[in-house]
Structure 1
Amino acid sequence: MTTVLDGGAVATVDATGTEHLRGHVVIDGGVIAAVGDGPAPAIEGATRIDASGLLVTPGFVNSHHHLYQWITRGYATDSTLFGWLTTLYPIWARLTPELVHDAAAANLAWLALTGCTTSMDHHYVFPHGAGDLLEAEIVAAAQVGVRFHPTRGSMNLGQSQGGLPPDSVVESHDAILTATAEAIDRWHDPGPDSMLRVAVAPCSPFSVTADLMRDSAALGREKGVRLHTHLAETDDEEEFCRATYGRTPTEYAEDLGWLGPDVWMAHCVHLSPDAVGRFAATGTAVAHCPTSNGRLGAGIAPVRAMLDAGVPVGLGVDGSASNESARMVDELHQALLVARYAGGPLALSARESLRMATMGGARCLGREGEIGSIEVGKQADLALWRVADLPGAGIEDPVCTLVFGAPTLEALFVGGRQVVADGELRTADAAALAARAAAASATIAGR
């Protein structure tokens, strides 16, 4: 099936930042067949969509998330990260496959409705005897129709061993490695049009032992998949690493083989100039989560310094229990604002925010050759934004309308398949997803 998007503004986010004020995009067989200025060529039998008054962008890539947290929003709203985690770990210990499925389905649907075509998920809570939680969210992603990069997370450093999580939600070293290898063998698809890829993702330096961090990196590289973890999110983590390991979080990660072009880290709020340099030199990428960082009072990540040094930076919504709105498009706006709070009006531009949300996220996931820009041969993952209706009418620059303004999503394509049309989810019943998520929230809360 061939689909033509005609007459809209097009921001390709290619290497030179090509844009067309009135352009076209042709989708054929799930990939981008043509993109250019002016009207589209006549194509017999093609479905034509009038994109007048719309902005066409690459679909957003959510580079850090925790889907299960959708059903535990609104907890510990005035706590720092460690206090927030201490509150929520006992609640998350009640997770079941059914609860994870309902949380993931609702969360992924909302991400799609806010411009996201590809999302990773960092799932690291596996209560004893809970069942196959990873499969539950994989099924949900297939139902919603977004590209999915679940990571097999882990925690093995419980409170009895000096860690933060309760012992009821940690696993043994060997069980984690076995389950991670099985997940990769069962689910990972390395193909260029893949809808499902798996990565290895121990949770954090304060919930995982050094041996598990080191062995997880070795396993991921043996299997040819990417590595992910939280790093340098808070001052508490900095103090923990210095007191426990005598190293900064970045030094500790590098000691364990956790810097490199196959690694992307979440948050990285507290990176020194030396740490930024080590990330750049090793090709280590960063998932910047501005809304979550603000919600938890973690601080402002040095995004300008990272971009200037050549560090690949994507955007992440982060777990919805630390970002209750969970709107992917909001992260572009928030990233711009927090950068300017710290560094002034030249700290970040609208187009740099858009690039982080698209190509930056694709680089985090190792998919910059397949998604993240509107170029011939890439996957047809596209978002169409209303930029000429009431909130956007009169703003001269469509990209500024997207990042500075209040855009709404008109349509979303994933591999050429229309997931959102006329602003509504077409792959699932949004009201039913909301009802199931509300019931799941009540269940996990014990009500």
Structure 2
Amino acid sequence: MYDLLVRDADLLVTMDGDDVPGGWIAVSGGTVAAIGGPGAEPAAAKTLSAKGSLVTPGLVNTHQHLFQNLTRGNAAAMNVDLFDWLKALYPMWAGLDEEAVEVSTYVGLAELALGGCTTSMDMLYVHTGPNFIDAQVRAAQEVGIRFHATRGSMCLSQKDGGLAPDSVVQTPDEILADSERLVDKYHDRTPGAMVQIGLAPCALALVTPELMRDTAELAERLDVRLHTHLSEVRAEDEYCARVFGKRPVEVFEDVGWGTDRAWVAHCVFPNADEIRRLGQWGTGVAHCPTPTLMRGAGPTPVPELRTAGVPVGIGCDSSTHSAHASMWLEAHTALVALKGRSGAGAISARDVLEMATTGSAACLGRADLGRIRVGAPADLVVWELNPVAFAGAHSDLVEAWLRCGPVQARHTIVQGAPVVESGELRLPRLDDMLARHRRISRRLQGLAG
């Protein structure tokens, strides 16, 4: 008898080149044990219905700053460009402590699970106290989401010509020592790993070239992945031209990051030659459409990147800027934005689903994720196809999935365990965590009560 059976899907999309109408998935020991079509369903200790639903692999989030849900919707940071946005929020983020990091991570991962995310990375780059990544790992283990914690960093303060106040930066020695400690303590290299660690200097305007080089060398020695922001806004182009006399992608290459070990967030403004080089390197790109559109930068040139062989995934980025953490909503926005940028035929819903599953998994270096196949980790989502919103949508359920809706996860299953079941989070401490989140958020934002 299997541990879990997900049965009677209107359509099962495995991302392995086949769709299964009426499909079912049997799970044993956290992995997919069998897949089949209508009839002849096996027995299982627990059964979840997928009737009236689309089933896909779990979505993989390739760029996030979970701590920023504590300053979500702050009026001082709305309707301004990126650098002014940062300057408004740094004083609030200076009040982070270990509790704030753990609670915001817990709540943020819970929100992601509701939107069909089964694996999320996070870039935490404000370290105003010790053990912040340790707190994130504890939260991820409790929620049950597969977690890639990247050890973010900033070492350039305002006195050094950077953007950040002294209160939120660290020395390169502190950053590198903690990076190595975290990899030694938490990084799991086995297939199906629930926790991995990456190294993530925040951006070229927030760290020194020396730290970028030293981090790349450390990642090579420890065999972990690299992540940073790149070519996010025009102001970054201007900064790199003024400070380095080069474009951001040129600086990125100079500091040793032009490699398939790295993936970058946004990459809105590469030129044709830079796109070609990214493809040659195998450097991945996390497309975060809502934040880049909110900042007036426009969408990433995804069709051109994919044509050049660049792994492209989807990321939710900052809850402070986009005000949500929903992979479904980011996927929907990507579909709309990329058609608006490049034409109606430039991208399909299935292309975007591929980006959010196999493309995102490639960015994280996870060949074991992003597909429903026998022997793979049992990470999958049952998407509720509301009978009113989907009335008349019969011929292509994947296109309907991103065009109709909005859509929520009926079940979000990670390593064979439901984190969301029948639309509800299975987290007994959620109410307590939300109350703590409200208290901490109001403190950081200087609000009473």
Common fold: TM-score over 0.5: yes
Q: Which amino acid aligns with 1:426?
A: R
Deviations 1:233-283 (A, max 9, x none): 000001101111111111110111111111100000111111110110010
Partner of 2:373: 375
Tell which deviates more after alignment, 279-288 or 429-438.
Answer: 429-438
Three-state SS of the structure 2 residue aligned to 1:198 is strand
How far apart are 1:140 and its partner, in Å?
1.0
Match of 1:226 in 2: 225
Q: Which residue of 1 aligns with 2:276?
A: 277
Which residue does 2:151 correspond to in 1?
152
Q: Are 2:112 and 1:111 equivalent residues in the alignment? A: yes
Contact 1:65–1:319 at 8 Å: present in 2 too?
A: yes
Secondary structure at 1:193 match in 2: coil
3, 12, 15: which one aligns with 1:13? 15
Residue segments in structure 1 that go unaligned for 5+ positions in a row: none
2:14 paired with 1:23:
no
Partner secondary structure for residue 420 of structure 2 = strand
Aligned-pair CA distance for 1:47: 2.8
The Cα shift of 1:432 comes to 3.2
Written as runs of structure 1 = structure 2, the 5 A alignment for 1:103-252 is 103-127=104-128, 130-252=129-251
CA contact (8 A) 1:164 1:207 kept: yes
Q: Once the two structures are superposed, what CA deviation does each residue of 1:380-404 show, in whole Å capped at 9, x if it has no partner?
A: 0010011153322331122123211
Q: Give 1:98 shift.
A: 0.8
C-alpha displacement of 1:216: 0.2
Distance 1:390 1:297, change over 3 A: same
Residue 299 of structure 1: CA displacement? 2.0
1:434 corresponds to which residue?
434
Tell me the C-alpha RMSD between the 2 structures. Answer: 1.3
**2:376 counterpart SS class:** coil
* Corresponding residue of 2:361: 362
Within 5 Å, give how 1:287-306 maps onto structure 2.
287-306=286-305
Post-superposition shift, 1:181? Answer: 0.5
Distance 1:153 1:437 in 2: 22
Identity %: 42
Deviations 1:169-196 (A, max 9, x none): 1111111111111111111111112110
CA distance in 2, matches of 1:77, 1:286: 26
* Kept after mapping to 2: 8 A contact 1:59/1:383: yes
Q: Distance in 2 between matches of 1:37 and 1:285?
A: 35
What's 2:95 paired with?
94
Q: Partners in 2 of 1:156 and 1:241 — Cα distance?
A: 17
Q: Structure 2: 5+ residue runs without aligned partners?
A: none
Alignment match, 1:80:
81
Q: Could you tell me how far 1:429 is from its partner in structure 2?
A: 4.1
- Summarize the alignment of residues 289-438 of structure 1 with structure 2, pairs less than 5 Å apart: 289-368=288-367, 370-396=368-394, 397-406=396-405, 407-438=407-438
Q: Is the 8 A contact 1:154 1:202 kept in 2?
A: yes
The ranges of structure 1 where at least 4 consecutive aligned residues each deviate by more than 4 angstroms after the TM superposition are none
Q: Name the CA distance, whole Å, in 1 between partners of 2:35 and 2:258.
A: 37
| Distance in 1, Cα, partners of 2:37 & 2:380 | 17
The 8 Å contact of residues 63 and 123 in structure 2, kept in 1 or not, is answered as yes
Say if 2:348 and 2:399, in contact at 8 Å, map to a contact too. no
CA distance in 2, matches of 1:137, 1:323: 21
Answer yes or no: is the 8 Å Cα contact 1:31–1:380 preserved in 2.
yes
SS at match of 2:216: helix
| TM-score, structure 1 normalization | 0.96
